[in-house]
Chain A
Amino acid sequence: MKKVIVLLLLAVTGYYLVISFMDLGKYGPVVETGVKDFYLEKTVSELHVANTITSIIVSFRGFDTLGEVTVLFLAATALGGILYKRRHDVGGRSVLFPSSSIVKSGSKLLFPAIILLGAYVFIHGHLSPGGGFQGGAIIATGFLLMLLAYDNFSVSHNVLSFIESFAGIFFVLFGLAGMMMGGTFLENFMPVGKLNDLFSGGIIPIIYILVGLKVAAELTGLIYTVLHEKEN
């Protein structure tokens, strides 16, 4: 009997899915004459940014990005809230055996290089592939390497939360400043400069640097929390 009910429910759901997909209409022509040309044209002529994807993410759909960053922040907060209790009396991390001296000294050498690469990726987000999210993730992998190599490596949660809230507050403040100067949230109110320059694109590089810092701090906190969880 249960199976029959489940089958009936599935059939009804499938029927309504098919009906609602029928209503969507034709797909092709809408894309060809849609917002694509607008984005491609305005990116170069108005914002003077070489990377169209960055201009869409940070400028045209900047409010979306603020939402994405908030989602990441909420996920990190929830994980910290679940795991924090078990952690505060544990000093180091429980490991089967300590890593060898080759790994330790090697990761000490590689750590600054990884941080530098991450910073490069999010500073050049408006010129080359990559951007805030990618650069932040690269920086977090650097911290992951150090945490794996040294079982007593610790990251200050005060510094992490300061960076995170600093970046988040300034993201919103830049958006509100655009509202005051131009009229819309995240309006590009700064001088846009020359195409393909490092200092070009108005507030786009600034926003992306803030996003990079925020993502790096969040992911580092996540990794630290997960590694130091002790099951008992």
Chain B
Amino acid sequence: MSLFEIIGGLFIVLGSIFLFLGGLGIFRMPDVYNRLQAGTKATTLGAMSVIFGVGIIQLENDWTWLLKAMIILIFIAFSNPISSHALARAMCKGKAYPFIKSKDKDINAYKEFIDNQKMEEE
């Protein structure tokens, strides 16, 4: 087992942990904004480190793998945040209310959200 394989394997394990947490977040979170945040931040880092790890492992055979992996990394770094930004914005414009526990209905954040929406309508 070479050094490259150990380092790349560590990256892949780290990425899989983040991907698992992202999936768990999508499953467990209560509303669309929380799910988007779990499904974007965790999975972006997870996918990036898995792909980077694959590039590192192949480094001793063929260095062009790392180059290709870097290109994919740049693509993910752009596409993943932009797509979830568009989703979240559409949700906000479509008046999807954030999840609030019923006993906390009077807290300020919720009121602020509704007031902002009313102001934008006028």
List chain A positions with a Cβ less than 8 A from chain B.
Answer: 96-97, 99-100, 102-103, 106-107, 109-110, 113
Contacts and interface: CB of A to CB of B under 8 A. Distances in A.
Interface string B59-87: 00000000000000001001100100110
Contact of A110 (B79, B89, B93): B79
Given A96-B93, A97-B93, A103 B85 contact: yes
Interface string B78-106: 11001001100100010000000000000
Contact of B82 (A96, A97, A106, A113): A106
B23 to A, nearest CB: 24
Contacts of B78: 106, 109-110
Interface residues of B, number: 8
A129 to B, nearest CB: 15
8 contacts: A96-B93, A99-B89, A100-B86, A103-B89, A106-B79, A109-B78, A110-B79, A110-B82
A109 B82 CA distance: 11
A107 B82 contact: yes
A-side interface mostly: helix
B86 A99 contact: yes
A103 B79 CA distance: 10
Nearest to A148: B86
Contacts of A97: 93
Contacts of A113: 75
A113 B76 CA distance: 12
Contacts of B93: 96-97
B82 A103 contact: yes
A100 B89 contact: yes
A106 B79 CA distance: 8
B82 A102 contact: yes
Nearest to A116: B71
Contacts of B79: 106, 110
Of B75, B82, B93, chain A has the most CB atoms within 10 Å of the CB of B82
Nearest to A96: B93
A127 to B, nearest CB: 15
A102 B75 contact: no
B109 to A, nearest CB: 22
A107 B93 CA distance: 20
Contacts of A110: 75, 78-79, 82
A110 B86 CA distance: 15
A110 B78 CA distance: 8
A103 B86 CA distance: 7
Nearest to A102: B85
A85 B89 CA distance: 33
A63 to B, nearest CB: 36
A109 B89 CA distance: 20
A29 to B, nearest CB: 42
B65 to A, nearest CB: 14
Given A99-B89, A100-B85, A110-B75, 10 more contacts: A100-B86, A102-B82, A102-B85, A103-B85, A103-B86, A103-B89, A107-B82, A110-B78, A110-B82, A113-B75
Across the A-B interface, give the 9 residue pairs with the lowest CB-CB distance, nearest first: A106-B82, A103-B86, A97-B93, A102-B85, A110-B78, A100-B89, A106-B78, A110-B79, A113-B75
